Structure 1
Amino acid sequence: MDFVLIFQKGFFAAIAALGFAAVGNPSPAAFRYAPLLAFFGNVIRFSLMQYAEVNIAVASFFAAIFIGFMAVGFAFYARYPIEVFAFPALLPMIPGQYAYRSLLAMIRFIETSSTQMQEQYLPMIISNAITALLTMFALGVGVAIPLFIFYKTSFRMTRGEAK
């Protein structure tokens, strides 16, 4: 295992989560917990992809579940909704590379008049678009599972009735 590479991926995800957290004028707690969630979520996803050879959608699903459950704990102590911590941590895991490749192949498909070239671009469009969509779906479903399980707890903890 290359711990430097794993740490590097997590570190840059934490910086990105910090930036995403700052966009919505959040509570100060979001600046403490969102980078931690992004760090560990991205480490989990990267490790599953590199060392367990899991595809990006499944790895993102498990990382999103982890982020969701950890956000529940952080929300309990900070007394803010789970979403304040979970969503900025998920944003660095959006598969922009696959979406970009799909759009680029679409543009090349449209620009070319050769049927043979169009036949080469079509599988690239479909493959990259499906990967991007399934990964984003996995992120959404993965973080929603803990949100649905702890919905009433989350509602109570932000209203001051918990503890």
Structure 2
Amino acid sequence: MDLLLILEKGFFAAIAALGFAAVGNPSKAAFRYVPIIAFVGNALRFTLMHYGGLNIAIATFLAAVLAGFIAVGFAYYARYPIEVFAFPALLPMIPGKFVYSSLLGMIRFMESTQEVAQEQYLPMIISNAITALLTMFALGVGVAIPLFMCYQASFRMTRGSAK
């Protein structure tokens, strides 16, 4: 296992998550916790894909579930909604390469006048689009599981009541 490569993926995801968190103008507490969640989530996804043999959608789902549970823990200590920590941390996991390749294939398909060339682009479009959609669906469902499991706790966390 190449530990340096895993750390590199996590590090750059943490930097990207800081940028996404800054767009939402969160509290200073979010800036402490969002990069940690992004680092762990992306490092886990990369490890599961490259060393665990899982495809990108399943690895993303498992990483999103873990990131969601970590966000629940940080939300408890910081007294902010779980979403403030989870969503910016997961944005670096959006499969931009597959979305881009799918759209590029669609543009090339439309520009092509030869039927043979168009037939070449169709499998690329379909494969990349399905991968992108399944991965984004896995992100959404993966982060929703901890949010729904800890729904009542989320209210107690942000309102300061101890039940």
**Matches of 1:19 and 1:162 in 2, distance apart?**
33
| TM-score normalised by structure 2 residue count | 0.99
Matched, 1:68 2:65: no
**Matches of 1:77 and 1:24 in 2, distance apart?**
20
Q: Which residue pairs with 2:18 in the alignment?
A: 18
**Matches of 1:82 and 1:15 in 2, distance apart?**
20
| TM-score normalised by structure 1 residue count | 0.99
Q: Which residue pairs with 2:92 in the alignment?
A: 92
Aligned-partner SS, 2:159:
coil
Q: CA RMSD in A?
A: 0.8
* CA shift digits 1:40-84 (9 cap, x unpaired): 000000000000110000000000000000100000000000000
Q: Which residue pairs with 1:131 in the alignment?
A: 131
* CA shift digits 1:108-135 (9 cap, x unpaired): 0000011111011001001000100100
How many residue pairs were aligned?
A: 163
Q: Which residue pairs with 1:78 in the alignment?
A: 78
Matched letter for residue 156 of structure 1: R
**Matches of 2:41 and 2:157 in 1, distance apart?**
24
**Matches of 1:10 and 1:157 in 2, distance apart?**
28
**Matches of 1:140 and 1:155 in 2, distance apart?**
21
Identity of aligned residues (%): 75
Q: Which residue pairs with 1:7 in the alignment?
A: 7
**Matches of 2:140 and 2:27 in 1, distance apart?**
23
Q: Which residue pairs with 1:117 in the alignment?
A: 117
**Matches of 2:134 and 2:29 in 1, distance apart?**
31
Runs of 4+ in 1 over 4 A off after TM superposition: none
Q: Which residue pairs with 2:45 in the alignment?
A: 45
**Matches of 2:162 and 2:80 in 1, distance apart?**
12
Matched, 1:156 2:146: no
Matched, 1:147 2:154: no
Matched letter for residue 63 of structure 1: A
Aligned-partner SS, 1:54:
coil
